Amino acid sequence: MGPPLVGLVLLAAAGLKLAGQAVSPFAQQGILTAPHLQALAVVWEILLGVWLISGVYRPAAWLAAVGTFSLFALISGYLGWMGQANCGCFGVIRASPWAAFTIDVIALTLLLLARVNRSTVSPAPQEARGVGFAGLLVGAVLILTLLAVGAWLRYGSLEAALARLHGQSLYAPTYVDFGSASAGQELVQDIILTNWTDAPIRVIGGTSDCSCVTTSSLPLTIPPGERRAVRVVLRPPGAVRGWLTRRAELWTDCERQPVVRLVVGCRVE
């Protein structure tokens, strides 16, 4: 009973995230906020949940589930230790990282107990397992196709759908690569911001210091459903060599998303 129950928990968690327009099982921390990574995480929850419930290739499903919940437990435990109030693991239901950590540990315990109990059960015939696995793959492809088609029809593009599911009003690339540069060289690049709301959004300011400037083309108004370029200037310090990354912010008058965070970087030669 353990794996199917854990599968139901995964499906419920994925549904709550989608219902709450928040697809991140890892809360709002760093690179994990990238919409495509978060959407993939929810898809993985759905696929793993269906896999566990189907009972196909149980040893592989068990290993995948143990690895997944071990990772979830590490992340939720870290967020709890850092003092974050809401882990974002259950979408519309606000839960502390320690509550999520407890659920992860319970899920791991159920999986371990199920493994012990199943050691006395004879495995299914190889042919039956092969048919079941083929059915699982077909189901997974069907789920992904339906999700993609539904997102395209509802929002006009997959990019817009990911931004909306993540609760974003403004979409910007999570990481912008400025390429290679010499120490002290000034690099300039335009970053495209997309307004997914039905009202104009005004970008009123942003990061401005000795190494990164985002304010050279601000303030800027982005009409609803349109895109505008924000010029970003990156100046690698003279003492830096190798890869340089710098966190930057853009500030808006949008109550739902007052800050747009991104990471810019380059290789200093």
- Residue in the structure block whose two tokens are 């012990």: 116
Band (pLDDT 50/70/90 cuts) for residue 201 is: very high
**In the β-sheet with 175-181, what is the strand arrangement from edge to edge?**
175-181, 259-268, 242-252, 201-206, 220-222
Please report the pLDDT score of residue 173 as a whole number. Answer: 77
* 44 closest CA partner among 65, 58, 66: 65
What's the mean per-residue pLDDT of the chain? 75
CA 78 to CA 81: how far, in whole Å? Answer: 5
Q: What are phi and psi of 240, to 5 degrees?
A: -90, 140
Band (pLDDT 50/70/90 cuts) for residue 156 is: low
The more confident residue out of 201 and 121 is: 201
Please report the pLDDT score of residue 244 as a whole number. Answer: 78
Please report the pLDDT score of residue 89 as a whole number. Answer: 67
Tokens of 88: 């974002």
Band (pLDDT 50/70/90 cuts) for residue 165 is: low
The SS3 assignment for 224 reads coil
Residues 1-43 have pLDDT tens digits of: 567 788 788 888 777 766 654 434 444 444 454 555 666 777 8
Answer whether residue 242 shows pLDDT above 70: yes
**Contacting residues for 97 by C-beta, under 8 A, at least 6 apart:** 27, 76, 77, 78, 79, 80, 84, 87, 89
Please report the pLDDT score of residue 228 as a whole number. Answer: 92
The arithmetic mean of pLDDT across residues 249-263, rounded, is 88
Band (pLDDT 50/70/90 cuts) for residue 229 is: very high
